[in-house]
Structures are given as C-alpha cells and as structure tokens.
Amino acid sequence: MANHIIKICGIRDAEMAKQTANAGANLIGIIFHPASPRYVNLEQATAISIAARNAGALPVAVFVNHTDVEMRNICESTNIDIVQLHGKIARAHHHLLPDTYQRIYVQNLSDKGEIQIESGLEYLDSERDFVLIDHIVPGQGNRIQRKGFHYDLPFPWILAGGLSPSNVVAAINDLQPNGVDVSSGVESSKGNKDIFLIQKFITSVRGLHDAA
C-alpha cells in the first residue's frame, strides 16, 4: 500500500498547524462544532488553514450537523475545500456542495462492529472521497469495536477512534486502512495538542513504509 494518509484533528492555532504539517501530516482537521473543546472560530480557522497550506498540508473543515449552506459559507470564508461530515444533517446535505469539495464521510460502528449506514453515502465519489470509520462517540479516545468489523464499502477509508502513537501500527497492520486520524491520542490534556506526541505518531506510521 502507498503511504498512509495521516490526519491530525482538532488543531486550534496556526503555529501548531505549521509544526504538525512540518512533522509530516497530510491533513489538518479544524473543528467547527461549538460543543467541542477543540472548536475554533472563523478567524482562528482561517489562520490555521493558511498555516497548514503554507507548510504542505491540507486543511479539513470538520462539521457536525451543519447544513449545506452553513458548510459552504464556512469553507469559502476559510479557503477550505475538504469537508468531514458528522451527524445526520451534514451527511444528508453534502450532495448539495460543489463537486470540487472532497468529502470525508464519517461512519460509526455499532457495538457489534457493524457500520451504521447513513443517508448521503450514495452520493460519494470513489475517485474523490473517503469514508472515515470512528467510534459512535467521537473525540473521546474510544476505540472502535474491531471484532466483527469488516470494511467492504467501495471507497478508500480512514481509521479513527482511540488511536495513539503506541497502538497505531498494530491498528494499521490489523485493519489495513488507507489512512489514520487522531485527536485525543496526541494531546497532553483535553483539547491541547502535544507536538512531541504528534511527531511520535507520524514517525510510527511512516516507519511502516521505511521498513517495507
């Protein structure tokens, strides 16, 4: 498999975005859900987006139950064209967004490891979009139920849910995703990213390819 995509989610300032991109992250997640401890406003998000692009990574707008109008307004304000879709509304409305937007469509797993299919999956483009598999309660460091899980959707996919520098290699070897996504697993405290943990996470993933 080609190099795995690495997404670091919940970055809250431009300097951390720069350092994270310089460490080798491909995607920088910016959260627009006000209830999240990692939420940022438009001004902060714009600065993060600029810093990520300047350092060689791409910004991702993370939405939870935003409408297509809300998502498009935020993306246009922040110069972001990759959207991560949580919640029934965002997933149902994404087909109304421009085709130039790349989608990361979140699917949660049941306790039995079964994918909870939501409205909007049928509008994904297998040449453009990704499915992200996460725990049903995202952002809390909870691991997905791997027993019984088998990925068979016709889209490349990203694994999330309880990943950390210490377990990401085993998770990749076990499930063979196209990419990995981490947030709480690289924080020193809730909502506060630790660049040393981020570097360790990225080094662990990249080491898989160095050893191949």
The partner residues of 145 in beta bridges, in order of sequence, read none
CB distance 180 to 160 below 8 Å: yes
- Kindly report the three-state secondary structure assignment for every residue of 62-128: EEECCCHHHHHHHHHHHCCCEEEEECHHHHHHHHHCCCCCEEEEEEEECCCCCECCCCCHHHCCCCC
Alpha carbon separation from 19 to 4, 8, 22, 82 (Å, rounded): 19, 11, 5, 20
pLDDT for position 141: 57
The string of pLDDT tens digits covering residues 75-100 is: 999 999 999 999 899 999 999 999 99
pLDDT for position 136: 61
The string of pLDDT tens digits covering residues 173-197 is: 999 999 999 999 999 999 999 999 9
pLDDT for position 1: 44
- Residue ranges of the chain whose pLDDT lies below 50: 1, 212
